Amino acid sequence: MTPEERFKIIDNNFLDILVRYNGNPANLERYNEFSPHIIDDNFAIIYMPASQVTREISARFGYSAIPFCYGLTDEQSLDASGVLKLREIPVVNLRGEGVMVGIIDTGIDYTNPVFLRADGISKIISIWDQSIDSANGYPTIIPAYFGTEYTREQINQALESENPLQIVPSMDENGHGTQLAGIAAGSEDVQNNFSGVAPSSDLIIVKLKQAKKIIKDYYYIPNNIDCYQENDIAWAIEYIVNMARNMKRPVAICIGLGTSQGAHDSTGFLNTIVSVAADFPSVCISVSGGNEGRLRRHFYSTIDPTGPPVPVELNVSENESGFTMELWGDPPVIYSLDILSPSGEYIPKIYVSLVQNQEITFISENTVININSFMVELESGKQVIVLHFKSPAPGIWLFQVFGSGDLQGNVNIWLPSGDFITKGTYFLKSDPYTTLTSPGNCIVPITMTAYNSGNSQLYVEAGRGFSASNIVNPDLAAPGVNLQCPSLDHKFTTLTGTSAATAHTTGITAMILEWSIVRDNYPDIDTVGIKKFLIRGASRDPQLKYPTREWGYGIIDVYNSFNLLRSDLENI
């Protein structure tokens, strides 16, 4: 890749576009002017000049062409999960020794003492900071060509200097990545009664770069909101997996990010990347289920083509500048809709074709809605209608969803997750289920929800399952309310949310990888094997029928999982 082509990766004047080339480079020849950049055997990125970008770009390249945007999923856990009990058994005493923990997030405060070994050496093997670009500093183990990689040697050199940031200038300005790393693998601090779940594990850190402004603008995401592109997350996964392979060590990866874009099933670009990586031996990936359970951003209904249309009422807040709304309909029904604005301006039924782009301007409200419709979205096979609202008028918007055909169908509508939209924009008749964020809708990785270990109650904001294709998600619940973690001022704070639960679980999976691979008890274990191991030992309420859409298969209890395993081995 030439310097000119490499510059397009980070330049906001070029839009990243995902294309599927199916392993045949000849399929990319028609994109040569856009500098094709191969990610894996299926997907590549091309970079289109901003001057050529219009709202019809999705109609040209497909629904999933513009990378989705992912946000952070957050707002006395070791004993509750059985971790301390395992440490107390001398012949077990699992602490993540020999295992690497990968954190894909906002970076890390590498100067914090909880990320040092007892001998003062950093626990961090490397930091790939995607936000610091250099001509020759990007990782050589993957063809990403951006960001800067800092090694453990450089980090230790920085720690010995009077001004560490002059040597390793990578910082965690948000604090979220530092918190997750501390929960999963922070060293013990006896004075402050703190320990990460797997305190002997090493760390691999990827600090994600912020999504390009051109992509934020496309989805109407405010510029001051932390937001990350799915192709950058995919590169982060590949980087961590390749590092583990090169070092011949097992790795537990934590993804505390999520999006409400997509079909909410196992399809899609990042979902595919995560599932493939999680299926490798010696790799375990845990993902967050998100915190969308009570935010009223999901609508669901069955559609009977012989009956009346289904009304959908959407309240838009006063300070909403723009947002997207996605309607997903199950085949074979064909879906269409009409629109009634808060002032009473009516747009008759919008009929859809195979691929369609249409712009509607509301005179009374000064609102513009751009509609992209795909009769058959290629990844999921479902129909999708995406509405891009620009300067939406506040008040109640009414949509009527029509179906045509001779069978009933199901329709799901989702609004953006997290801070990508204000809390005052919501459906009046919402459905709290099928609110897990992606990639928490995948089959292979371990999808986590959060509960309060102090009162054994589910975290009220947690997303709920199942997936839109009825995959059992979440898989398990872990402590995720007021978890102690390191702060950016080298003190301690607390974190609440499903990404906190995911970091906790990542530490537990590092313990299992130590027992299975480092100690050579089960050398071929992967994410699915670890998931089944944890499901088997989970704590369950006898009054509930599992799996449930709130709890999955129950509360994680790694001590009980090992107890059951020991019992099995004794009976062999």
**Which positions are catalytic?**
105, 176, 499
Strand order, beta sheet including 37-38: 14-20, 43-49, 37-38
Strand order, beta sheet including 426-427: 346-350, 334-340, 395-404, 310-316, 426-427
Q: Cα 363 from chain centroid?
A: 38
What contacts 24+ positions apart, CB below 8 Å, involve 93-96? 94/198, 94/511, 94/512, 94/514, 94/515, 95/198, 95/199, 95/200, 95/201, 95/511, 95/514, 96/185, 96/197, 96/198, 96/199, 96/200, 96/201, 96/252, 96/507, 96/510, 96/511, 96/513, 96/514
CA angle 294, 471, 324 (to 5 degrees): 45
User: For residue 528, which phi and psi values (nearest 5 degrees)?
Assistant: -60, -45
Under a CB-based contact definition with an 8 Å cutoff, are residues 232 and 226 in contact?
Answer: no
- How far apart CA 223 and CA 230 sit, in angstroms, is 17
- How far apart CA 178 and CA 213 sit, in angstroms, is 25
Helix axes 527-537, 558-571, angle to 10 degrees: 90
Nearest to 452 by CA among 491, 500, 487, 419: 500
Residue type (1 letter), 24: N
Q: How far is CA 179 from CA 106, 118, 476, in A?
A: 10, 20, 21
- How far apart CA 241 and CA 244 sit, in angstroms, is 5
Contact residues for 413 (Cβ-Cβ < 8 A; gap 6+): 298, 299, 300, 312, 325, 326, 327, 328, 427
Helix (H) or strand (E) holding 335: strand 334-340
**Conformational region of residue 74, where left means phi above 0, alpha means psi within -120 to 50, and beta covers everything else:** beta
Pairing of strands 426-427, 395-404: unpaired
